[in-house]
Amino acid sequence: MHQRPIYRMFETVVRCVTDITPHMRRITLHGDSLADFESDRPGQWVKLFFDETETGRAFTIRQWRRDAREIDLDFVRHEGGIAGTWIATAKPGLAVRLAGPRSDFRHDPDRMLFLFGDETAIPAISSIVESLPPEARAVVVVEVEDNTAIQNIESAAQVNWSWIIARGGRSGRHLSAYARHLAIGPENAQVWIACECSAAREMRCEFGRMGFDKTTLHASGYWKMGAIEHVDCDSDY
C-alpha cells in the first residue's frame, strides 16, 4: 500500500503582512524552528495548519531566506473559508504551523518551458522563472481579472510573457484556448499548469493527446469553481 510521506511540522509566527497588488497579499512567517527547514528547488509548497484540525491548506513558497529564518507566502485574497479569513485578518505575532516542503517539479534544461496559470499560480510561476539560468527559454501565460493583478517579475532567462485579462472572473478558459493553438511536442518542450481544477484537467488531457506525459507535463488544480475549500486529489504533484 502506498503511504504518504510524513513531513515535519514547524512552529512559526507572522512577521509582517504586505499587499503586493489589490488582489494579492504577502505574509512573511518566521520561526527559530525554520533553521532546519529545507527548500531546494522553486515551486515547492507547504501546508499551513490554521487551527488544531489535521486538515492543512497548501500554498507555494514565494521566497525562503535561510539566514533570517523567514518564508514569504503570497495569497490571492478571497472571501470565505478558514484560509480566506486567516489571510484577511493575519497580523504580526499570529501563530501558525506549517509542514513541508513538497513538490517534485524540476525544470528540464534541455526543453523549453511553458508555464500556464491564473492569479493563484503567480507565486509558483514567479519562483520558477526567477530561478531559470540565462540560457533557458520559457513562455509564460497568466490569466488575471484585471490589469492591477499584473506583476513585474525579473528573470535571467529568455522569457516571453502573456497576461490575459479575463473580464468577469478567472475560469481558465483563456488558458485552454491559448494552449490549443500551440504547435509544440514533448520532444523539445516541458509544460507546467496550475489554475482552476476543471481547466487544469482539460489542459492535462489536451497536452496528453499531444504526447505529453508525467515526465514532461505537471498539472495541478489550485482551486475549484463554486467551492470555498478545495483539495486537489488529481494533481501531478
Q: What single letter denotes the amino acid at residue 60?
A: T
Domain boundaries, the chain: 9-102, 112-223
Alpha helices in 25-167 (DSSP H): 81-89, 122-131
Cα–Cα distance for residue pair 159/149, rounded to 1 Å: 19
Contact in structure between 138 and 162 (CB atoms under 8 Å): no
Q: How many residues does the chain have?
A: 237
Segment 158-200, tens digit of pLDDT: 999 999 998 766 567 889 888 888 889 999 999 999 999 999 9
Q: What single letter denotes the amino acid at residue 155?
A: S
The pairing of beta strand 112-118 with beta strand 217-223: unpaired
The domains spanning 9-102 and 112-223 adopt the same CATH topology:
no
Segment 63-83, tens digit of pLDDT: 999 999 999 999 999 887 888
Can the peptide bond before residue 101 be classed as cis, meaning omega within 30 degrees of 0?
yes
User: Among the CATH numbers 2.40.30.10, 3.40.1180.10, 3.40.50.150, 3.20.20.140, which is that of 9-102?
Assistant: 2.40.30.10
Task: Report the pLDDT value the prediction gives residue 55, as an integer from 0 to 100.
Answer: 76
Segment 109-163, tens digit of pLDDT: 999 999 999 999 999 999 999 999 999 999 999 999 999 999 999 999 999 999 9
Query: At 203, which helix (H) or strand (E)?
Result: helix 197-209
CA neighbor of 157 nearest in space, from 116, 212, 114, 122: 114
Report, at the CATH architecture level, how domain 112-223 is classified.
Answer: 3-Layer(aba) Sandwich (3.40)
Model pTM score: 0.90
